[in-house]
Structures are given as structure tokens and as C-alpha cells.
Structure 1
Amino acid sequence: MKLRSMALATLLACSGSAFAQSNVTLYGVADINIEYANHVGAIPQAANQFNSGPAHNVYRMNSGGVSGSRWGLRGTEDLGNGLKALFVLENGFSLDSGTLQQSSRLFGRQAYVGVQSATLGQVTLGRQYTSMFEALANFVPGAYATQYEPAALLTGANFREDNTIKYTGQFGPVTALAHWSFGTGLALPAFIGVATPIGGNGEVPGQFRRDSAYGAALAYSAGPFGVTAGYDQWNPTIGTGNGTAKKAVIAASYSYGPAKVMGGYRWGQNKNAADVLIQRDDFYWIGAAYQVTPAVALSLEYDYDNLKNSFGNTGLANPWQVAFIANYAFSKRTDVYLSTAYAKHAGLAMDSVSNFFATGLSTGNSYALANGQNSMLGVALGIRHKF
């Protein structure tokens, strides 16, 4: 009896030690604004005969101006010998309506679990950001500001992917990333030029390539200088076959005191299931972020897309956009902001058929140009609280 009691006490002591080395954190962002935008039409889809309709001025309340509204849980457990278990569950929601985003997923922003080594890096499994998207996060002046950043055009509408195994390694000033998705879970509606929906859930027996995706990136940062390069490929279902969406990128940054200058180039090529070219473009961006005072931050970004081919049309005007954000922080957790952008030959966030209208479809607010229009202006005033 005494031996059994000692064994139980030892077990409880070990359990207590394990729990003491674990932690779980609740975190989130609540971001909302009031926006004005002009020349807005409907996203052209089969339901409206691919007709964006007449132009409207819109006044609306939006969730997520500079950050997507979210709440999440993240945690780690020390396994000893330099190993840790980790997980992240992150929900995206619309603060203006209380509804789920990311196609009504409960944890649509991120949902993964993995193991981290102090020397070898980490391996994670679940719904995650692509390697290219993560590598570029520190090289985009707007810092992926949700409302007007053309992230879906820059990195692809598949910048989050289901069913993904991902490696991340930190080796001094170098970060290495690589991932493979067994099925991205991204489904886009039919558009002009593509008569059937694009993508899907994937993971179909006997169709290993269906909706799969993969990519890799390297980033270097030491002192004021940073540089990154990466590649991403998505193999979406188109009809009864698979197309390809390929992107390669290189970007650099340089910091001088409170200012940071950033810019880069992204090559893109999409083909349909018959291996016929349906889109080819060269995307460029440049800009800067400037911390004027501890409370005031400014950013300016210019984006330009050299659209060489879009569903067989080689004569389209090249879209471009300039975006500006002014931010005032009341504290480390609460700030207000003014965000504005002007886009030419595309909607705000450079939304068009070239990026499958991904920004408008994901947020539920159209940035499609109306019939007869070739520019759009947007201005938003908002508040953000981090917890």
C-alpha cells in the first residue's frame, strides 16, 4: 500500500511538472472602419451574366482595415531535449456582422499542430500560410493591410492552404520555409475565360495532384538589410483536369533609422487543364514605412502589374495602385487609422479577374469596377484593438 502511494505521488509530481512547462495564450484583434469608395460594381459571376453593372458610390462599415479581425489560441509544451510541441487555432470573423470569414470555417485563418526543435527548426501540419506569403510579410510596406493590400494578386488567392505540412527553420540571419498541401481547400467561382469553378477540396483517392500545392522560400535579414526569394505553385481543379498557377518572387528591404524602404518583383504564369497559357504577368511594388514618433506611423506603397496575357487578351491596360496608411497609437493595444488607396484599370486591392476578385469574395465587399469605369478611390477611417 505504501509503495502504491509513493508511485501515485511520483506520477502526480511528474504531471504537475509537465503542466508547469505548458502554456496557452488567448489573443486577437478587433478592427473596424467606415469606408467610402466610388465606381463600385458587382463582382461579375455567372449569376449576373458576368456583368458588373452600373457604378455606385458606397458608404459602408467594414471589418478589418489594417488587420483582419480575429481571435485565436496558441500554445507550447516543453518536451525536453530542445523539443517543443506547439499549436495555433485562429478564427477570422467580420466584426461588423459577427459572422465567420474564410468560407465560414471555425478556424479559417490558421489551424495547425507541430513539433519544434531548438536546432533543426519546426514541422507543422494543418491549415497554414504558404511559404511565399510568410516570407514576404516583412517586405511589403502596407504589411498585408486587409482592406487595400493586393496580397491575392501578389502571392496568389491560395495564400492560405488546407491539408498542409510545412517546415520552418531559423539559422542565424537566414529563415528557410517549405510546404506541401495535399488539397488547398480553395474553390473560386467561374469567371469570364474559365467556364467552370476553379479549385476545390482536393484529397480525392487516385487523384494525388488534384488541388495540391507546394512552395519554398528563403529570407535573410542582418542589420538594416533584408532580402527574400521564393516559389509557389497551385494545381487547381479546372473542369475534369488540373491547371497550374505558378509564381516566383524576389524582394529586398533597407532600414535607416525610423524609416524602412521595401520593394520587389513577382513573376506569374497560369495555365488551364490543357496546359494552355491563360495568364502571364509581372508584378512590381515599392514603398516605405516610417515611424514618425512612437505614436505615429505612416506607410506608402505603389503596385504595378504588367499584364501580358489575361485569358487570351494581350491588349489590356496594366493596373496599378497607390495606397497610404496613417496610424496613431493611443497605447500598445489600441490605435486609430486613416487608410486610402487609388487604383487604375482595376478595383481597390487591384481586384479584377486577374486575381479572381479574391479580396471582394473573401471580405464580402465588392471592389469590382463598374461598367465603363477604369479607376476607383477608397478612403477608410477605423479603430483597431489588440488583445
Structure 2
Amino acid sequence: MKLKGMAMAALLACTGSAYAQSAVTLYGVLDTSLEFANHVAPYSAAGFTANPGAGNNVFRVNSGGLSGSRWGLRGTEDLGGGLKSIFVLESGISVDNGTMQQSNRLFGRQAFVGISHNTYGQITLGRQYTSLFVAMANFMPTAYATQYEPAAFMAGNNFREDNTIAYTGVFGPVTALAHFSFGAGVPNLAIQGGASAFGGNGEVPGAFRRDSAFGGAFTYSAGPFGAAIAYDQWNPSVNNAAGVYQGTTATLKKASVAGSYAIGQVAKIMAGYRWGKVDNNGTGAQLQRDDYYWIGANYQVTPAVGLTLEYDYDNLKRDYFNNTHAPNPWQIAFVADYSFSKRTDVYLSAAYAKNAGLTLDAANTNQLATTGATGNSYILGTGQSSMVGVSLGLRHKF
């Protein structure tokens, strides 16, 4: 009995030591805003119809303005020798009505586990952001603000992908990223005016390419200067209007470069370019081709007051709906943010879009980006060519 008690004590001591080197953090953001927008078409399940209906003014409470509302768990365990295990579970929530986002997923924003080494970097497996999306994060003036920045337009609707293995390595001022998805699992998106759609869950026996995706990126940061270059490709299923697989895939390719320059501790200028192309491999048709540009700046007026200005422009060489050169969409956005503390701030954001809705949502761009984040579409009403949005919000981080 004495030996058994000593063994149990030793086991408990070892267990306590292991847990002492582990850490789990609960974190989150609650962001809610009051918004006015004009010329907004009624929401349609079809999403990308050419004539979605007459536009009207809308007044609403949104979940997510500067940030998507979320809560999450982040954990690490020190395994010794510079090695540790890591995990992230992150759930998107709608604060305005208490529901889950990302197609009602429990952990729709991120869900992955991995191994990290101090020297060689980390490998993670699960639902994760694409390399292009991560690389460009520090070069988007409003930092992927949920409400008015065309983040999904820039990075693609597949900026989060299921079934993904990803690598991140930091080597001095250079960060290398790469990922591969065995089945991106992006919801169906209409093309050709709703006549067909692409999307799916992938990982189908005998169809390795179907719904697969991959990409890579490099970022550089030293002193006031930063730069990034990235590539992303998604090979989604091509389905008919009823969502039935047609036996072929599309190819969505994006490549992006960006740069930034900081002026002291108070200002930062950012600019970037994203090349995009969409092909239907079954018919050989080119569905879209565009060149997207952005430029903007952050200015910290006081430690509590920050201002942001961003201009976005897309040279839409070939649009989805008519396969013609539609009027090029552009947008200008402004944000004024006041911080009560490191955790709580209020903000005023405003945007004006031309030849598309806010965030460049439109049938001709095949974009309904905001719906996935806030439940609200900014598709223009019939006969309208511009949209204005103004939002007053409160954000709390924990």
C-alpha cells in the first residue's frame, strides 16, 4: 500500500507539472452597430439575379462593423525542446439576434489543431484562413472591417477553407505561408445569372481535384516598410441551378501584391493589387477576369482617436452576368474610431460605392460578401448605380 501511494503521488505530481505548462485562453469580440444604407435591394436567396428588385433605404442593427463578432478558445501546451501543441476554436456570432454565423456552424470562423516549433514554424490542420487572406491582413487599411471593406472581394469567398493543412514559418523579417485544402467546403455561389453554381464539400473518392484549393505567400516587415506577395487557387465543383454536380470543376485564381510604409508611430500608408481570373473547365469559358486595386491610410490623431481612409477600384475586364465589360465598380470608405480603453471603443464608419453596392456586392462581380458575415446584402436595387452607408457602432474585446 505504501508503494502504491508513492506511485500515485508521483503520477499526480507529473500530471500537475504537465498542466502547469499548458494554457487555454477564452477570447472574443462583440461588435454591434446602427446602420443606414440607401438603394438596397430586397434580399433574395438567388443572390446574384440581374434585377433583384427596387432599392430602398434601410435602417438596421448589425452584428459586426469594424470586427466580426465572435468568441473563441485558444490553447497551447509546451512539449519541450522548443516544441508545443496548439489549437484554436472560434465561433462567429450575431449579437443582434444571438444566432451563429458561417452557415450556422458552431466554430465557423476557425477550428484547427497543430504543432509549433520555435525554429521551424508550425503546421496546423482544420478549418483555416487562406495564405493570401492572412498575408494581406496588415495591408488592408480598415483591417478587414466587416461592414464596408471588400475583403471577400479581394481574397475570394473561399478565404476560409475546410479540411486544410497549413504551414507558417517566421524567419527574421520574412514570414512564409502555405496551405492545401482537400475540400474547401464553400457554400454554392451562383454564376451566369443563377443558371449554374459552384461549391461543395470535396473529399470525394476518385475526384481528388474536386473542391480542392491551395496557395502560398511571403510577407516582409522591417522598420517602417512592409511588403507581401501571395497566390490562391480554388477548384470548386460546377453544379446546376438545383445544386447537382455536373462532373467538372471551375478554377478561381488570385494573385496579390501589397506594400505599406509607417510614418513614425502616428500614420501608415498602404496599397495593393489583386489579379483575378475564373474559368469553367467543363466548357472552357472564361467567367470573369478583373484587376482590383486599393490604397489607404491610418492616422492616429491622439492615443484615443484614430482615422482611416480607403479607396477601392476594380477594373472588371469580364463580368459574370453578361460576359461584357460592365462599368467598373469603386468605393471610398472612412472610419473614425474612439477608444475608451484597450478593450472598448466606439466608431463612425461611412462608405460610398459606385457601379456596385457597398463592399462591391453586385451581380456582375458575383459578390454577396456581407451576407456571410452580417446577414445583410448590399446588392443594388434595379436602376440604381450607387449606394451610401453610414454606421455608428460599439465594440468590446475580451
| 1:45 and 1:190 in contact (8 A); partners too | no
1:370 to 358, 381, 386: 381
After superposition, residues 150-165 of structure 1 pair within 5 angstroms as: 150-165=150-165
Q: Give the whole-Å Cα distance in 1 for the aligned partners of 2:48 and 2:258.
A: 39
Give 2:227's aligned residue.
Answer: 227
- Alignment deviations for residues 263-320 of structure 1 (CA, whole Å, 9 cap, x no partner): 0111000001323211000000000011111100111000000000013533210000
1:336 to 340, 346, 364: 346
Uncovered stretches (5+) of structure 2, i.e. residues with no partner: 240-245
After superposition, residues 218-367 of structure 1 pair within 5 angstroms as: 218-239=218-239, 240=246, 241-257=248-264, 258-274=266-282, 275-311=284-320, 313-353=323-363, 354-367=365-378
| 2:48 and 2:368 in contact (8 A); partners too | no
Uncovered stretches (5+) of structure 1, i.e. residues with no partner: none
Give 2:195's aligned residue.
Answer: 195
The one-letter code matched in structure 2 to 1:27 is Y
Task: Tell me the CA shift for residue 195 of structure 1.
Answer: 1.7
| 1:50 and 1:192 in contact (8 A); partners too | no
The one-letter code matched in structure 2 to 1:107 is F
Q: Give the whole-Å Cα distance in 2 for the aligned partners of 1:92 and 1:375.
A: 30
Q: Give the whole-Å Cα distance in 1 for the aligned partners of 2:293 and 2:48.
A: 33
Q: Provide the TM-score with structure 2 as the length reference.
A: 0.94
Q: Give the whole-Å Cα distance in 2 for the aligned partners of 1:249 and 1:49.
A: 29
Q: Give the whole-Å Cα distance in 2 for the aligned partners of 1:108 and 1:4.
A: 47
| 1:262 and 1:287 in contact (8 A); partners too | yes
Q: Give the whole-Å Cα distance in 2 for the aligned partners of 1:245 and 1:262.
A: 26
- Alignment deviations for residues 338-373 of structure 1 (CA, whole Å, 9 cap, x no partner): 010000000001111314312234422120000000
Give 2:242's aligned residue.
Answer: none
| 1:124 and 1:167 in contact (8 A); partners too | yes
- Alignment deviations for residues 87-112 of structure 1 (CA, whole Å, 9 cap, x no partner): 00000011000011000000001000
Q: Match of 1:100, SS?
A: coil
Q: Give the whole-Å Cα distance in 1 for the aligned partners of 2:252 and 2:375.
A: 24
Q: How many residues align?
A: 387
After superposition, residues 199-214 of structure 1 pair within 5 angstroms as: 199-214=199-214
Q: Considering only aligned residues, what root-mean-square deviation do their CA atoms show, in Å? A: 1.5
The one-letter code matched in structure 2 to 1:339 is S
Indicate whether 1:380 and 2:391 are aligned: yes
| 1:39 and 1:373 in contact (8 A); partners too | yes
